[in-house]
Amino acid sequence: MPSAPDLPELRKRTVDWRGLAEIRLVASEDGPGRGQRLILARNAAGLQFEVAVDRGFDLSALSWKGINLGWHGPNRLPFPAAATTEDGGRGMLRGFDGFLVTCGLDHFGVPEQAPADHFIYPHRPAVHYAFHGRIALQGAELTGYGLDMEAAEPVLWCEAVVRQTALFGEVLSLKRRIELPVFGTTLTLRDRVSNDGYRPARHALLYHFNLGYPLLDSDTLLFGDCAAADLARFKAVPPAPAEDFVELVDALSPGRRDDGTATVGLRNPRLAGGVSVAIRQRLDQLPELTMWRCYQSGIFVVGIEPHTSRTPDRTGYEGGANPDFLKAGQSRRYDVDVVVGA
């Protein structure tokens, strides 16, 4: 199989590019996710991904040569998803599932409450921020998808806009484009978060990349631009299911490469001769990185979580250059790569 396209030669062998790669829009017809749209894609290198169009346009599954790389929890992508306000603001836990869960656009972490004075509405004195935000459970406006074999590097692509809005509240949008080269194993996300309203709106963003079995197993190692202390902490508690394991959450300290990026991932040297998945972030966009480990039996997952910084005191909007807020019309861009390899 060619590593670079020679379209005339390829056409001698197939005039339907599905022999190499494919991207399709389908609908789930059964189970708790019945009725939602999914994008299914596969390329010539054996990489396959799934996008949950009606759940934040997130990457709900990832596999390589038939090997599952992401994580699948008990919820099975329900649709419509539970409201985030359920269970004391923890309704996300009834919908949390898949390889990528985007957390934001105005909050991530445990539920919080903060002043709502920047929205100028006396009947809403406070904003209740749900667990890991609301964007992951919002439906997207699909703006396009396809296979471009005429590009300099043939590529599978899809893009959409996801909105998080409220009357007398935030008016935020996430424009996301996902690309995968036909002959490559690096998947890219190109995101832009915008304040489309007239009032300032709080902004926070975390990419919750979830890695599970069989990539995650007893031989799995942390690798990449990690500090020695990060590697030691992972090795000290190796992946093994345990009945009473709660969770470990560590702030990692990745080193910055010359191009301003940092790459951290998991490698299983015994799986199919060695398989790895790494997340590459731009530290000027996403300056922090957290690792979540939950080895509890029946859950068994590691989350690699690039995210924005948050100031220690986030009680409200103070105007000026407050980093926790987007002014009306302001946007921020985020570029994240998923690198799959042997």
Q: pLDDT (tens digit, 9 = 90+) per residue, 126-143?
A: 999 999 999 999 999 999
Q: Name every residue whose Cβ is closer than 8 Å to that of residue 50 and which is 6 or more positions away in sequence.
A: 38, 39, 40, 41, 59, 60, 61, 62
Domain contains 70? yes
What DSSP element (H or E) covers 233?
A: helix 228-236
Q: Considering its fold, how many domains does the chain have in total? A: 1
Q: What is the DSSP letter of 134?
A: S
The tens digit of pLDDT for each residue in 71-95 reads 999 999 999 988 888 899 999 999 9
pTM over cut 0.85: yes
Residue 127 in any domain: the answer is yes
Neighbours of 68 (CB within 10 A): 18
Q: Is 179 among the domain residues? A: yes
Radius of gyration of the chain (CA): 20
Tens digit of each residue's pLDDT (9 = 90 or more) over 179-225:
999 999 999 999 999 999 999 999 999 999 999 999 999 999 999 99
Q: Which residues constitute the domain of residue 125?
A: 25-311+323-341
Please name which of 272, 239, 265 lies closest in space to residue 342, comparing C-alpha atoms: 272
Contacts of 83-90 spanning 24+ positions with Cβ under 8 A? 84/130, 84/131, 84/133, 84/134, 84/137, 85/128, 85/130, 89/128, 89/129, 89/130, 89/131, 90/130, 90/131
Confidence (pLDDT) at 6: 81
The proportion of the chain whose per-residue pLDDT surpasses 90, expressed as a percent, equals 87
Assess if residue 292 is contained within a domain: yes
Tell me the pLDDT tens digit for each residue of 102-131: 999 999 999 999 999 899 999 999 999 999
pLDDT given at position 4: 57
> Residue 78 is part of a domain; what is its CATH number?
2.70.98.10
Tell me whether residue 316 is in a domain: no
Q: Is residue 8 part of a domain?
A: no
Given a cut of 60, is residue 1 above it in pLDDT?
Answer: no
pLDDT value at residue 82: 81
What pLDDT, on the 0 to 100 scale, is given for residue 293? 98
Instruction: With cut-offs at 50, 70 and 90, classify the pLDDT of residue 310.
Output: confident
Following DSSP, what letter does each residue of 164-226 receive, concatenated?
EE-TTS-EEEEEEEEEEETT-SEEEEEEEEEE-SSS-EE-B-EEEEEE-TTTSSTT-EEEES-
**Assigned domain for 246 exists:** yes
Q: Is residue 4 part of a domain?
A: no
Mean predicted confidence (pLDDT) in 15-24 = 92
- Candidates 52, 51, 48, 53; CA nearest to 68 is 48
